[in-house]
Structure formats: C-alpha cells, structure tokens
Chains A and B, each alone.
Chain A
Amino acid sequence: MDPFITISHLHKTFAPNRESSTRALIDVSLSIPRADFAVISGPSGSGKTTLLNLLGGLDSPSSGSIDLGGTLISNLTEAELSPLRRDRIGFVFQAHNLIPVLNARQNICYVMRLQGRSRQEQENRVSELASTLGIEKLLDKYPDQLSGGQQQRVAVARAVASRPELLLADEPTASLDATNAVLLLDLLEQLNHNEGVTVLISSHDSLVINRARHSIVLRDGRIVRDQPESHETP
C-alpha cells in the first residue's frame, strides 16, 4: 500500500539570503502510513515545529516535496492551502489554541461551520466527542474559564471534529502536568484507534515518546532515526 504521507529531500532555510540564515531542515525524507501514531522527538531547535508546519501547510519548504494522500502540498499557494487545512488537517498547538470569543462548543464546531455542515451534524459530533473526551460539562464555558488541561482537550475535540485525515500536535503536553498529559495521550490514542485519524505529534517529553508506534528523531534538522512500528521492536 502507498504511504499516506511521503516527504522527500525536504529542505527549509529561514532567511536564506542573510548572514543569520538558519537551516532548520536538511534533506528530510520520510514516509508515514495511514492511521499511524508517530512521534517526532529531538532536542529544542532540532526542527520539529518546522517539519510539522510544512506538513500542515502553514509554511512552505525551500526545496523538496510533500505528498499528502496524493496531493503535492509543497506546490500549493496560500489560497489553495487554506481549504486543505480546513478539510484535511487538524491542529493542536502547545497552548492558547482556542478562539477566546467563542465558547468550547463553538470552538469545537468552528471548522464544521467553516465547511458549512448542518446544525444537526455539528450537534451530533459535539456530543459524541464531548463524551469521548469527558468535556460535556465544559461546553458552554469560554476558554478563560477553562484550565490548561481542559483547554487542550477542547482543542483536540476541535482538531478532530471535522474528521480530518491528519492530526498534527506540536508539543501538546508541554504546558500540562503529568496527569493531564497522560489523559490527553490516552484520548489521542483512542481517537487514532476509533476514527483512524493519522496522528503526528512532536515532543521531547518521554511520556509521549514512549507511546509512539512510529518514532522519528530529529537532530539539527536531520533525521537521525526513523523507526516504524517501534513499540514492536525490543
């Protein structure tokens, strides 16, 4: 079977024409199958965020290509990337994910509303996710009334609400304590298992790295280890 994501010879250099230019990614090639649960680890500054941003269509590479389920996203313009992000990718960032003027329910529905899904569909999906993620009681609260762990759970619900093919989570546990981090990981695994969404997490937290089914390690912008199905190997 063809891999879901194929990255080949990807380079990303920030401020290429200046003296202060940074080579954030150097010749990165990688393939990720559908429904994978992959963790990109590596020290701070190794290029994890840069890689996730390129995969999510938030930024474009200096050279190389990214194929997402048959779409060559490295060639798309901003106008083409916007609907791609809306329809095919879900994001969870490190913190402050939620739109402050919308309550939890409205945040979860946000992408579905952008897509013009019916009210009924939105409501069904919200109650389904709320019970999976244990946030039924939080739905009418605004982000500033939620704890960090609660906010991250709502962010996960929003990221998967429109059933994207790919969920990108950049250090999602960095602002959480261990209990909340474990809870969040459980939920991500559960969604990966139940809904078949491909999950790609960046982290340098061992709690997260230990859950990886596919472990990728970056150092100084290069892949130093790429171990699919890593938990099966001793």
Chain B
Amino acid sequence: MYKMIHHMAWNNLGRRYGRSLLVILMIGASLWGLLFMEGIYDGMTEQIISNTIQSDSGDLSLFARGSRLEPSLKLLLPDTLLERESLHPGPGSLIKSRSARLSHTGLLATAHAARQVKIQGVVLKQEIHHAELSGKLISGTLDFGRTRTGAILGQGLAEHLRVTVGHKVILTAQDQQQNINSLALRVTGIVRSGNQQIDEQLLYLDLGHCREFLGVAQGFSQLSLILHEQADVHLIQNQLSLELKDQSLDILRWDQLSPALLQSRQVMETFNLICNLLVFCVAGLGVWGVVTVSVLERLREFGVMLALGTSFLQIQVQVLLESILLGLGGFVLGAGPGAATLIWLAHHGLDLQIFQEGLQAFGLDTIIYAVIRTGYFTTAFIAIFLACASSVILPLHRLKQARPITILNQP
C-alpha cells in the first residue's frame, strides 16, 4: 500500500517536474546561502575568540588574587607555581601549552609620538608556541637579539608610533620600588595578534630583561593555559581551584575574562538561528505554493481515489510525502554544494581584502576560514522538514473542504 503511495507521490512530482525543480532549486539555493553565512560568520567569531585566547586570556588563566582588577608588581604569582605537575603541558596532560607573563603598563615613545603600552615579559620560545606567533609575524623576526634588548610590537602600536623593524624606541615605566625607569629598545618584530584592542598596546619583552627593568626578583603576573580540548575548561578550572585553594589565586576561564567574546558567540548563534528561520520560511512558502496548486488542480483525481475507497488519511500521507520529497531534494541540493563550499573555505579561507579596514577594526584577519559543524546540517534539515510538513496543512484543509468526491459526475 505505502509502496503505491510512494510511487504515486514520485510520479506526481515528475509529472510537473519544472515546477518541482524550481522549488527544489529555491530551497537548495537558500540552504546553500545559509550554510555559507553560518560557516563564515562562525569562522569570524571563532577567529576572534581563538586570537584572544592565544594572545591574552588562554582557555584558563591564573592570577594572584585581586591582581586582575588592580594589577600591581607586588601581587605576583611565585615561580614555584610553575613546578607543579598539574600545570605542566606535555604527554598525558590535558594542557596543550602555557605561557607565564609578567605584565605591566608603561609608555613607549619615539622622538615624535608616545603610546601607553601593556608590557608583556615572556619567555619567547614559550610564547611563540602558546600564541602561535609564527603565523602572526608580519615583519622582522621573532627574536629579542643577542643583547635581549629587542622588542616585538603589536601592529596597531607600531602604526601609531610610525615605527618599523630596526627603529629605536624608549620604554618608560614605574618599577616595583615606585622609581621611574627608562629603557632603550630596538624593534625586532611586528605581529598582528588578531585582536585590535590587544594589538594597539602589545609590547613583548624578554622576561629576564623585563624583570631587571621593573625591579622584580622573581614571579609573574599571569599564567595563561591553553587546553587540548576547550570542552575540558570547566573540569580543569575546578580541579585547579581545589588543588590550589590555599594559594590565594584567581583561576578564570576565557569567557570570564572576556565576557564580550562569549556574547559575540551568542549573537552569532542567534543570527544563525534567524537564518534557519528564513530558510524555514522560504521552504515553507515555496512548498506551500506548489502543494496548494497541485492539490487544487487534482481535485478530480483525489475524488476518484476517494470513490475507489482510498481513505483521506492515505491521501494526506501522499501529499505530505510529495512535499517532503521536495524538501529533501532541496536539502540534498543545498547541503552537498554547501558542505563542499565550507570544506573548501575551511582550508583555503575566504579572502575579504576589500573589507580589510572594517575587518581589522573588529580584530579580524582579511582571510576568514569557515567553520563547518554537523549542527548546521541537522538544524537546517529539521527546519526544512518542519517547513514541508506544516506547509501541507492548509492545502489539505482546502482539499477536504472542496469535497472532491462530489465533483466526480460533473463532466
């Protein structure tokens, strides 16, 4: 029985293949557009988040208690903390990398200009690995030189000061003993962190050199941790809080450190949901139109079927099946090329050179790498399925009201 319904549904779609194809194309094209937008927007958001995590917050960061809100060279984490087994990256650990940073504010000046900077004293090898600096270097080298008086600047900062690699700059800051000190540095490298705000203040110095300059014997301000799996972040936060509870530390997740980033992810998710709703409407309206026309022009055929003893339920199933086949067709047509597009964009990226300025203002690279998630497809599938299923309700109601069985003997 259901085999016959299936057969009839297929043939009905085939009988008006032009119309069917048009709806399938419409659904497919809008689904392709949806997937493209989702993947790119998601990619942008994830790029900002991961740049910020790498250059600043880590997945998790440890601070001396209270120093996050009121930074002070007197509130530092002890070097001994680094020896703890649980904070070591390496085989068997859930931690992928870490970087200990000594942070302080200062003033960086040339003969013409001066900017406030956030000094980051780092062990360069660690930071290169942790913040993936190799991919972010835009000129110079990742090296502080033999005398360790080199400085690596954020791109925004370098632009404001109009300095390039090789230029000399003067750093002024208050040390731990409240004395104002100055230090001559040579720009050895310029990096783009991917976050405009960070970029405009970023100054990397050698940790040892930085300690000397700031009059700090030992210790650091932040221990930034990046995990193998971001999903483990709550688990590790809890474990560390428990283990280090007598150490007077703040252990904060990236989303606690940068709530705006979490929010931007939520905005992205809402936007994607709205896009899904649009596809739902496109599919629903398209299928609704086609089903309405095809049901009303087949009144006589349905009348014959009813007269022969077909139940109205069977007719409903057939019409529903026709609409779902249209939706499935659209889904396949949109999801296939959509997935291919996203996979390509995930590897090669989308070059948005023309929007460069706007993108960089948001801390984005000009090349956006798409993200691809199975969730896009399941949500879209559900949206299309629901759209198709609900779009037959009205046409079937009209079919019932038309009482097709009574028109049979009108020639």
Say whether A114 contacts B411, CB under 8 Å. Answer: no
- Does B406 interact with chain A (Cβ within 8 Å)? yes
Give chain B residues whose Cβ lies under 8 Å from the Cβ of A36: none
Interface residues of A in 28-87 (CB under 8 A from B): 49, 52-53, 56, 58-59, 78-79, 82-87
In angstroms, Cα B406 to Cα A79, docked, is 16
Query: Interface centre among B4, B15, B309, by most A CB within 10 Å?
Result: B309
Please tell me which one of the listed residues B8, B305, B408 contacts residue A93 in the complex, with CB atoms under 8 A apart.
B408
Say whether B411 contacts A174, CB under 8 Å. Answer: yes
Please tell me which one of the listed residues A82, A87, A113 contacts residue B306 in the complex, with CB atoms under 8 A apart.
A82
Give chain B residues whose Cβ lies under 8 Å from the Cβ of A78: 312
- Does B304 interact with chain A (Cβ within 8 Å)? yes
- Does A1 interact with chain B (Cβ within 8 Å)? no
Say whether B406 contacts A83, CB under 8 Å. Answer: no
In angstroms, Cα B312 to Cα A91, docked, is 18
Say whether B411 contacts A53, CB under 8 Å. Answer: no
In angstroms, Cα B405 to Cα A226, docked, is 28
Say whether B308 contacts A111, CB under 8 Å. Answer: yes
- Does A99 interact with chain B (Cβ within 8 Å)? yes
In angstroms, Cα B155 to Cα A212, docked, is 102
- Does A116 interact with chain B (Cβ within 8 Å)? yes
Q: How many residues of A contact B (CB 8 A)?
A: 36
Give chain A residues whose Cβ lies under 8 Å from the Cβ of B311: 79, 82
Interface residues of A in 87-114 (CB under 8 A from B): 87, 91, 93-102, 106, 110-111, 113-114
- Does B409 interact with chain A (Cβ within 8 Å)? yes
- Does A165 interact with chain B (Cβ within 8 Å)? no
Say whether A101 contacts B15, CB under 8 Å. Answer: yes
Say whether A94 contacts B409, CB under 8 Å. Answer: yes
In angstroms, Cα B307 to Cα A82, docked, is 8
Least CB distance, B326 to chain A, in whole angstroms: 16
Say whether B411 contacts A175, CB under 8 Å. Answer: yes
From known contacts A58-B405, A58-B406, A93-B409, infer whether A99 and B8 are also in contact, taking CB-CB under 8 Å. Answer: yes
From known contacts A96-B300, A97-B304, A101-B15, infer whether A114 and B310 are also in contact, taking CB-CB under 8 Å. Answer: yes
Q: Which residue of B lies closest to A164 (CB)?
A: B309
Interface residues of A in 205-230 (CB under 8 A from B): none
Least CB distance, B178 to chain A, in whole angstroms: 91
Give chain B residues whose Cβ lies under 8 Å from the Cβ of A85: 307-309
Least CB distance, B309 to chain A, in whole angstroms: 2
- Does B12 interact with chain A (Cβ within 8 Å)? yes
Say whether A116 contacts B1, CB under 8 Å. Answer: yes
Interface residues of B in 299-343 (CB under 8 A from A): 300-301, 304-312
Q: Which residue of A lies closest to B305 (CB)?
A: A99
1/0 per residue, CB under 8 A from A, across B1-29: the answer is: 10010011001100100000000000000
Q: Which residue of A lies closest to B11 (CB)?
A: A101
In angstroms, Cα B305 to Cα A171, docked, is 19
From known contacts A49-B409, A59-B406, infer whether A100 and B307 are also in contact, taking CB-CB under 8 Å. Answer: no
Say whether A91 contacts B307, CB under 8 Å. Answer: yes
Chain A positions near chain B (C-beta within 8 angstroms): 49, 52-53, 56, 58-59, 78-79, 82-87, 91, 93-102, 106, 110-111, 113-114, 116, 158, 170-171, 174-175
Beyond A82-B312, A97-B304, A113-B4, 19 additional pairs, beta carbon < 8 A = A58-B307, A58-B408, A59-B405, A79-B311, A82-B306, A82-B309, A83-B309, A84-B309, A86-B308, A86-B309, A91-B408, A99-B8, A100-B15, A101-B12, A106-B7, A111-B308, A111-B309, A114-B308, A114-B310
Chain B positions near chain A (C-beta within 8 angstroms): 1, 4, 7-8, 11-12, 15, 300-301, 304-312, 405-406, 408-409, 411
Query: Which 5 residue pairs spanning A and B have beta carbons closest together?
Result: A86-B309, A101-B11, A49-B409, A85-B309, A94-B411
A-B contact pairs, 23 of them (CB 8 A): A49-B409, A52-B409, A56-B307, A58-B405, A58-B408, A59-B405, A59-B406, A78-B312, A82-B312, A83-B309, A85-B308, A86-B308, A91-B408, A93-B304, A93-B408, A94-B411, A95-B411, A100-B15, A101-B7, A106-B4, A110-B308, A114-B1, A116-B1
